[in-house]
């Protein structure tokens, strides 16, 4: 019998474990950032490896793939290199693999594990086990049975790592998977394939099948750690840990495991009752932010304007302590109503002569504004109406496109441009040998390119050129001069793959240089951490690090600079979080749509769009209309649309 190992100590976090003040049926450790959570999970794995080595026995690990796991494996590599953590006694079994897929394909989970862990540690190749997605279909059943036998022969899995899908799947066990399922060939739901499409050149290339451990296999592991990062996972995390166990949410079946723990960041924990409505789980400190959150959520749940809420509404919702702390409903309602009212402004750069109730200060006027756009279309998608307002109201607006966005251009769209270029040269009689060779090279490469192959540097540069032209067209549409448009091409992005490098010193240097040149009074940046391929997060980290270093270096203009965060195409700020809401008329909504249409390479079929099949202009309009509807429901003026921003203290 292998020795027991207590995971509770290294996986503390905020509110570690279910207790009398939570509604959670599974212990949940909440960490401020994904990196902190990943370090805790890696520390637990490292401790188990060392314990098993000291006992003279192997350590059997069940491993998972996907972006959630990258930081965990990075920390394990650091422990291996810097602290001598050995994997010589490790035996690993991976959860799943696409089918069919060759092990040489970049998108295969075999290659993922080689890149992120196996090639860089001292694990014996014979101890590595992954499902084989390259087998003929008639051999898969026997392969799955042999996989189960290998797990049993190894003594069973000591510690299983898991992620969680937006529909609650663990491994590739989709909703409806039976509790007694074992390793098998499974069909992937369209939503899962769409969510994973960011790994492929287009959604159609995502395999429709996968080989996956079953729920019974997973639940037989001695210990389980499930990781979840970001706001996109908040809803399903709550369902899994607070809802009734059900095969319709496979992760909820982990409630039946005797030693399972969820490790999440604050964004993924946001819908847990103890964070979403902490007044239901115990005593809270009633700050202005907490009061606003409680009252806004109460009004939306009741379907009442804020000013219509009564003492009875508060009491029935478990908010009697708020009444005792702040007075009656009338007083509290007015406080929240005025805060919501004052967040709405048609002057995102401030209004000359206006009082202090506006979100942005009146002076200095006009302002220098710098909008950071992670991809070449995030500016117009996320804040197109505000972008136009700032320019039209006389501010000096600069836009910085942080990355080339080249991987989001399909081969078909590139070929369309190449056909035009070749036709133009023929019509103009102005062809040259060098251009002709380049066109031939691209056509030849694309003709032999396999479904899982990466683009060549030349193709990436041409695709980046297409997106740069579309961004310039948008800026011309808004009216921005050419010298106020900046293409940063941050190095972290230029890997040729969906997987990006971490933020580096050169990314920060380029950003600091632009900030010093513009010396902005306002900075707008993407605060959307739900971006499925992580570019937005790295871009925000770069901006924050650049501002931090400039502040520490004593840059005088920093003290007069405010940072406003918008969200991207995937989510919006909750009403209670919004510090500035910029209204748009129906005509302005249409103008924004036309600006988004400048990005023709991103229309119709968009690569890497996550699990949302809508086009970006549809997402933007529905999101902005939803925010306007929420404000109207709360008793504020009804606008056609509202763009939302949160002020960030850097």
User: Half-sphere exposure (CA, 13 Å, Cβ side) for 303?
Assistant: 0
Residue 541, preceding peptide bond in cis (omega within 30° of 0): no
Our answer to whether residue 149 is catalytic in this structure is: no
Q: DSSP states of 17-85 as a string?
A: S--TT---SS-EEEESSHHHHHHHHHHHHHHHHHHHHHTTS-EEEEE--SHHHHHHHHHHHHHHHHH--
Catalytic residue among 24, 148, 174, 189: 174
User: Phi/psi class of residue 176: alpha, beta or left (left: φ > 0; alpha: ψ in -120 to 50)?
Assistant: left
Compute the C-alpha angle 201/210/115, nearest 5°: 60
DSSP string of 501-568?
A: PPP-HHHHHHHHHHHHHH--SEEEEE--TT-TTSHHHHHHHHHHHHHHHHHHTT-GGGGG-EEEEE--
Distance CA(210)–CA(187), nearest Å, equals: 7
Is cis: bond before 364, omega within 30 of 0? yes
The answer to whether 7 and 261 have CB atoms below 8 angstroms apart is yes
Count Cβ atoms below 10 Å from residue 154 Cβ, excluding itself: 17
> For residues 578 and 643, is the Cβ–Cβ distance under 8 A?
no
- Specify the DSSP element, H or E, that contains 460: helix 457-478
Spatial distance between the Cα atoms of 470 and 457, rounded to a whole number of angstroms: 20
What is the phi-psi region of residue 56: left when phi exceeds 0, alpha when psi lies from -120 to 50, beta otherwise? left
CA 479 to chain CA mean position, Å: 31
- Rounded to the nearest angstrom, the gap between the alpha carbon of residue 446 and the centroid of all alpha carbons in its chain is 30
Active site positions, annotated? 174
């Amino acid at each position: 019998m292998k020795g027991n190992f207590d995971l509770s100590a290294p996986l503390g976090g905020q509110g570690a474990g279910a207790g009398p003040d939570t509604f959670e049926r599974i212990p949940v450790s909440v960490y401020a950032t994904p990196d902190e959570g990943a370090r805790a999970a890696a520390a637990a794995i490292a401790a188990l490896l060392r314990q098993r080595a000291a006992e003279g026995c192997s350590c059997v690990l069940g491993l998972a793939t996907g972006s959630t796991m990258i930081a965990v494996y990075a920390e394990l590599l650091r422990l291996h290199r810097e602290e001598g953590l050995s994997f010589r006694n490790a035996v690993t079994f991976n959860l799943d693999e696409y089918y069919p897929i060759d092990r040489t394909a970049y998108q295969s989970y075999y290659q993922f594990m080689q890149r992120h862990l196996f090639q860089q540690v001292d694990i014996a190749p014979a101890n590595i086990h992954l499902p084989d997605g390259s087998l003929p279909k008639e051999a898969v059943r026997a392969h799955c049975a042999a996989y189960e036998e290998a797990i049993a022969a190894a003594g069973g899995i000591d510690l299983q790592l898991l992620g969680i899908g937006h529909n609650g799947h663990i491994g590739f066990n989709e909703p409806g998977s039976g509790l007694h399922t074992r390793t098998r060939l499974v069909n992937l739901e369209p939503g899962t394939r769409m969510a994973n499409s960011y790994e492929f050149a287009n959604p159609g290339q995502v395999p429709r099948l996968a080989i996956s451990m079953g729920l019974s296999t997973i639940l037989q592991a001695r210990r389980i750690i499930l990781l979840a990062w970001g706001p996109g996972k908040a809803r399903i995390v709550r369902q899994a840990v607070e809802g009734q166990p059900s095969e319709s949410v496979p992760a909820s079946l982990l409630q039946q495991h005797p030693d399972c723990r969820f490790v999440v960041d604050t964004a993924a924990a946001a819908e847990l009752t103890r964070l979403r409505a902490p007044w239901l789980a115990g005593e809270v400190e009633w700050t202005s932010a907490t009061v606003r959150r409680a009252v806004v959520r109460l009004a939306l749940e009741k379907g009442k304007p804020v000013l219509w809420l009564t003492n009875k509404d508060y009491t029935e919702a478990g908010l009697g302590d708020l009444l005792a702390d702040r007075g009656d409903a009338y007083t509290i309602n007015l406080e929240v109503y005025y805060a919501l009212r004052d967040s709405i402004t048609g002057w995102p750069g401030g209004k000359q002569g206006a009082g202090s109730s506006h979100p942005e200060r009146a002076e200095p006027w006009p302002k220098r504004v710098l909008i950071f756009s992670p991809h070449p279309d995030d500016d117009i998608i996320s804040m197109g109406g505000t972008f136009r307002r700032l320019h039209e109201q006389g501010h000096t607006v600069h836009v910085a496109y942080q990355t080339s966005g080249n991987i989001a251009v399909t081969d078909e769209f590139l070929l369309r441009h190449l056909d035009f270029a070749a036709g133009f040269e023929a019509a103009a009689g102005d062809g040259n040998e060098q251009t002709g060779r380049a066109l031939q090279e691209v056509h030849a490469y694309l003709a032999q390119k396999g479904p899982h192959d990466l683009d060549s540097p030349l193709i990436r540069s041409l695709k980046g050129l297409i997106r740069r032209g579309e961004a310039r067209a948008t800026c011309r549409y808004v009216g921005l001069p050419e010298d106020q448009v900046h293409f940063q091409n941050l190095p972290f992005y230029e890997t040729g793959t969906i997987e990006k490098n971490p933020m580096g010193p050169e990314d920060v240097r380029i950003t600091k240089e632009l900030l010093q040149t513009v010396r902005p009074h306002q900075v707008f940046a993407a605060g959307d951490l739900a971006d499925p391929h992580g570019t937005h997060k790295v871009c925000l980290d770069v901006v924050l690090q650049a501002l931090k270093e400039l502040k520490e270096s004593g840059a005088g203009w920093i003290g007069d600079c405010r940072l406003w965060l918008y969200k991207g195409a995937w989510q919006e700020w909750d009403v209670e979080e919004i510090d500035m809401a910029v209204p748009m008329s129906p005509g302005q909504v249409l103008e924004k749509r036309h600006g988004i249409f400048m990005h023709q390479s991103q229309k119709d079929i968009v690569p890497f769009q996550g699990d949302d099949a809508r086009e970006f202009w549809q997402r933007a309009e529905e999101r902005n209309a939803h925010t306007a509807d929420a404000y109207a429901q709360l008793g504020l003026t009804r606008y056609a649309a509202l763009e939302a921003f949160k002020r960030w203290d850097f």
